[in-house]
Amino acid sequence: MSYKKTAAFRAAQDRAPIYEALEEFKRKRIVPFDVPGHKRGRGNPELTAFLGEQALTVDVNSMKPLDNLCHPVSVIKDAEALAAEAFGAAHAFFMVNGTTSAVQGMILTACKKGDKIIVPRNVHRSVINALVLCGAEPVYVNPEVDHRLGIALGMSVSQVEKAILENPEAKAVLVNNPTYYGICSDLCGIVQLAHKHGLLVLADEAHGTHLYFGKNLPVSAMGAGADMAAVSMHKSGGSLTQSSFMLLGPAVNAGYARQIINLTQTTSGSYLLLSSLDISRRNLALNGEEIFAHVVELAEYVRHEINQIGDFYAFSKELVNGDSVYDFDVTKLSIYTRDIGLAGIEVYDILRDEYDIQIEFGDIGNILAYISVGDRNRDVERLISALSEIKRRYMRDKAGMFTQEYIDPEVVTTPQQAFYAKKESLPIHETVGRVCSEFVMCYPPGIPILAPGERITQDIIDYIDYAKEKGCSMTGPEDLSIERLNVLQGV
């Protein structure tokens, strides 16, 4: 019997120290002469009416009875210990600046200026942001691509081994577990290989909270023996937006990691976010297996029904090849749309504008409908019906559509050097051959088409033009219209 099934585990996990401290604080009816200035909502009636008195009364500042996020000694410390136990980690940090700050915390803990870190190029922008901040040098592993779906796959162990042998001074390897689309690399194999060569393994688990609690799902980072993981509790775990965990294995100095986190995370941690993490951790620790069994059942049902419609393709474990797709997260309802002649972003827009259905994202060839703890049967039936009707109403010839989501970059210099270098602004169509000094991406998913330090090619410009034409939400450049790009002077 696993520890998570024991009475002792369940008794411990039934506590929520931060939530309990806030409830006790409310009972005391303390008169506030501290911040925030709305004073439990009394100073901003419109906000109180909108968010509710219950929320505003616990939107409070750090104080002794409620502990301090930067230096926890009581209830936050206790809550961290419970979270670490629930996730099978040596330590857990409550993150209130989003998983972006957890990713930055991992990389800044593992790397200093000039250090090398091995990363897949299809990372979230937060990874490359961290490299801009700390000056570490990325060793990019260009993932294989599924040429039908046009999506980047995982890192193979052989690719990681080649990168390690060619860069023996590298300090760490970062792995997406899983990708936005549900693709999983051989995390156990990569951990074993990296540790053999003395490298730390970091996992971006922005989309992997459920891996720690569900059964028959891909391995979690801590389960695979990784050294650090950034976990978006708010995505599939039910906590409030912007609340996440940074998990550590036993080989990482927790005191140093907290110092790094405190460089970038707010000193005024929101108790709404902290308590949502505490309560959601308790819920998943006690009920996660049943919750995610239901999520898997829903996702598999919807996947089957969508594939019965025809021409849409909701892909799954049939992609597994034991290498670049080592496993697949079946909770991810990723759907290929190009066979009906529509880009994913076009289906995304139609679902929202005509059917009042908001999915997670649409890109050039796919959409992602996020199935999680809060979904109901009638909601997924509505999605299935809408997609069937969209096919009937909008299907057209797919000739001339872009087929590639991922374009291998040519890296010229490091993200930090490029971002802070002398630069000039040029019309985007005059930048071919130049080196970009900023980001360009569709958001979501937030994987850069261009990152600082990469050569701009005609294929990349064509992709950006096509994505803009199809209605993708483009972000990153200084010029919000994305008519101009900043490039390095003289390069």
Closest CA to 348 of 358, 356, 334: 358
Q: Are residues 160 and 134 in the same domain?
A: yes
pLDDT digits (tens, 9 = 90+) for 394-405: 999 988 888 766
Q: Are residues 339 and 436 in the same domain?
A: no
pLDDT digits (tens, 9 = 90+) for 69-122: 999 999 999 999 999 999 999 999 999 999 999 999 999 999 999 999 999 999
Q: Are residues 90 and 150 in the same domain?
A: yes
Residues spanned by the domain of 456: 415-488
Q: Are residues 64 and 95 in the same domain?
A: yes
Domain boundary among 261, 286, 311: 286
For residues 106 and 127, what is the distance between their CA atoms, to the nearest angstrom?
A: 9
pTM above 0.75, yes or no: yes
**Percentage of the chain exceeding pLDDT 70:** 99
Find the mean pLDDT for residues 146-154.
91
CATH of the domain at 53: 3.40.640.10
Domain boundary among 271, 286, 301: 286
Q: Are residues 295 and 309 in the same domain?
A: yes
Q: Are residues 382 and 358 in the same domain?
A: yes
- Asked if the model's pLDDT at residue 1 lies above 70, the reply is no
For residues 480 and 425, what is the distance between their CA atoms, to the nearest angstrom?
A: 13
Q: Are residues 189 and 93 in the same domain?
A: yes
Find the mean pLDDT for residues 120-142.
94
For residues 152 and 286, what is the distance between their CA atoms, to the nearest angstrom?
A: 35
CATH of the domain at 374: 3.90.1150.10
Q: Are residues 214 and 324 in the same domain?
A: no
Say how many domains are in the chain.
3
Beta-carbon contacts of 77 under 8 Å, excluding residues fewer than 6 positions away, are 67
Task: Give the strand pairing for 440-442 and 448-450.
Answer: antiparallel
CATH of the domain at 469: 3.90.100.10
- pLDDT band, residue 2 (cuts 50/70/90): low
